[in-house]
Amino acid sequence: MKSFSLFTIIILCLVILLIDVLAFYWLQSITQHLSSSLLKTTIHALFWIFTLGLITSIVVLKVTLDDINPMRKQLLISRFYGLAISSFVPKLVFVIVISVLYFTNYLFSESQSLLIVPIIGLLSGFLPFFIIINGIFKSVYRFKVHYHCIRSKILPESFEGLKIVQISDLHLGSFNYSYDKLERAIEKINHLQPDYIVITGDLINNYAWELRGWKLVFNKLTAKKRKLAILGNHDYGDYSQWDSPEAKQENFDAIKQFYRDIDFKLLLNESEIISDRNEHIAFIGVENWGKPPFKQYGDLQKAMTNVNAIPFKILLSHDPTHWAEQVLDKTDIILTLAGHTHGMQAAFQYKNLQWSPIKYKFKHWAGLYKQNQQYLYVNRGLGWLGFPARIGMRPEITLIELRRMNN
C-alpha cells in the first residue's frame, strides 16, 4: 500500500463501501426469510462490523505505514491484500449476479424468484470465496513442473538432451521464513536431475534481510554442471526508501553476495560459454530490462560481446517484453527465458486454453512462445507478491530439454 497515495486508498475504501452497501441491500432479500429476528440481526451486525473494521484497518495501516518495521509491514500488507480481495470479489460477484437475475427474472415466476434468485445469488458469491481461499491456503505452495522440449537444427551434438531447470520470481520475503514450504520445490527440482539450474530474477521483494536463513535451503539445490542467475526489477531496491545511496548499495551488494554463497554465477550483462568436446553454447545474462516505468539496467550488446561466434545462445532476461523489443528478429538468440508476470497469479486454464487479465498488459505472459526459429519461455513464478494466493496459476518449476531437430 505504500506505493499508493492516501487519496487513492480512500477512493478504494469508498468503492469497497459502495459494493458492501449494495451487497447488504441484496443480503436483506435473503435474511428476510429467516424466522429468527436475533439471527437476522446477528448476521447484519457481523456484516457491518467486518466491513467497517476492514476499511478502518486499511486507512490506519496506510497512515502508520512508515512507522512499521519493514518485515512486519510486508506481512501486514500481504494479509490485507488477501483479506480485502477475498471479501470484495465474492461480494462484487454476488451483487452483479443477483442484480441481473432480479432485473431479468422473466425466467422465474414471481413466487419462484422470491426464493430461487437469492439462493443463486448467494451461491454465486460463495463460489469465488472458496476459490480464493483455496488459492491462499493450498494452491500457493502446490509447485507444478512444466516440461518443454526445444528443438533446434543448430544445437551442437554434444548438448543433445541437455536439461535446464528454470525458476523465477521467488520473492522470498513473502515466504516469511517458512523454509519448509520452499524445500518441497527444492526436492522436486533435484528429482529432475538438471544439468543447469537458472534463476531469472526477483529473488526478493525489496530487502537483503529477506535472505536470512535461506542459504541452507538453496545449498540443497544440485545441478550436474552449473547454476546461473540474473536480477529482476525487485532485486535493485528501487521500490524502497533508503537513508542514503550507500545503504541502497550495501543492500544490493548483500544480494549479490548471497548468490555467491549458494554457488550461483550471477550474470550481470555478461555471458557464460559452455564447452563440451570442442562444441559450445552460451548463456547470456542481462540485468533487468523493461518498458518504463521499469528501469532498463540491461545491456544486451555488452552481454553478447564475446559470444557472437557461438551459434546456439540462451538468454536469461527477467522481463518478457525484452524479447519482442530487442531480441526477436534482431539477434540470433535461439531461446530466451523470462519471468516477471507471475501470470498475474490468477488465470483460467483448461487444456490448451489459458486466459488471464495480465494478457492485456503483457503480450507474452506465461508459457512457451515461438516465432520462426526463436523461442521465448515465460515462467509463471515460484513465489508470490502482494496478493498471497495462486488461483488457476500454480507456482512453476520449468524443465526444458534441448534436442536436435532432424533435417
Q: What is the pLDDT of residue 14?
A: 94
Neighbours of 87 (CB within 10 A): 19
Residues forming beta bridges with residue 338, ordered by sequence position: 378
CA 223 to CA 194: how far, in whole Å?
5
- Contact 285/318 with Cβ under 8 angstroms? no
The helix (run of H) or strand (run of E) holding residue 28 is helix 6-31
133-177 tens-digit pLDDT: 999 999 999 999 999 999 999 999 999 999 999 999 999 999 999
CA 190 to CA 184: how far, in whole Å?
10
Q: What is the pLDDT of residue 293?
A: 86
Q: What is the pLDDT of residue 2?
A: 44
Question: Domain ranges in the chain?
Answer: 6-137, 143-404
Q: Which residues of the chain, if any, have pLDDT below 70?
A: 1-4, 65-69, 105-115, 117, 407
Q: Determine the 3-state secondary structure of 374 from DSSP.
A: strand
Planar angle of CA 165, 171, 175, nearest 5 degrees: 105
Q: Which residue has the cell 441491500?
A: 25
Q: Determine the 3-state secondary structure of 151 from DSSP.
A: strand
Residue among 136, 219, 209 at smallest CA distance from 177: 209
Residue among 391, 382, 372, 302 at smallest CA distance from 85: 391
CATH class of 143-404: alpha beta
- Contact 128/90 with Cβ under 8 angstroms? yes
Q: What is the pLDDT of residue 3?
A: 57
Radius of gyration of the chain (CA): 25
